[in-house]
Structure 1
């Protein structure tokens, strides 16, 4: 058995014929359910757009947390550094 046969799970001709038959059966079932290729690709596009939007919304929330923390941490850091310089430990 060649590497290609092992990768495909059989000879290329058998696999192609099997895929044609399965594609036809699935196509008949989806047509019976009223689903078109346009619906599938449109749904996939909407899914990717939602994931994309959620990702950037997450970055927006992370930025807000960072800014909120920085408003407290940076002044304290500067104050501590100034106090250390005043004590001669700078």
Structure 2
């Protein structure tokens, strides 16, 4: 991942920037879809107050968890793919 004595190349910096952007955008989309699926019926239907309160609370609790899980999973996967393989060994995924 680091070339030239520990410094990142411009291509490595650009790849990391793109991956961070992808992680944030895809996580925001996933969280929004999940919030809409869980809390959406509250806005569409006339539900009893306790049910709507539970759905809104569940949506606002689960959406940030999904957001963070998505960001972490994308960035960890990127970091693992950027690690150089062991010299002299072939990678079964290649």
Question: Under TM normalisation by the shorter chain, which class is it?
Answer: 0.3 to 0.5
Q: Which structure has more helix as a fraction of its residues?
A: 1
TM-score by length of structure 2 reads 0.40
Structure with higher RCO (Cα < 8 A, 6+ apart)? 2
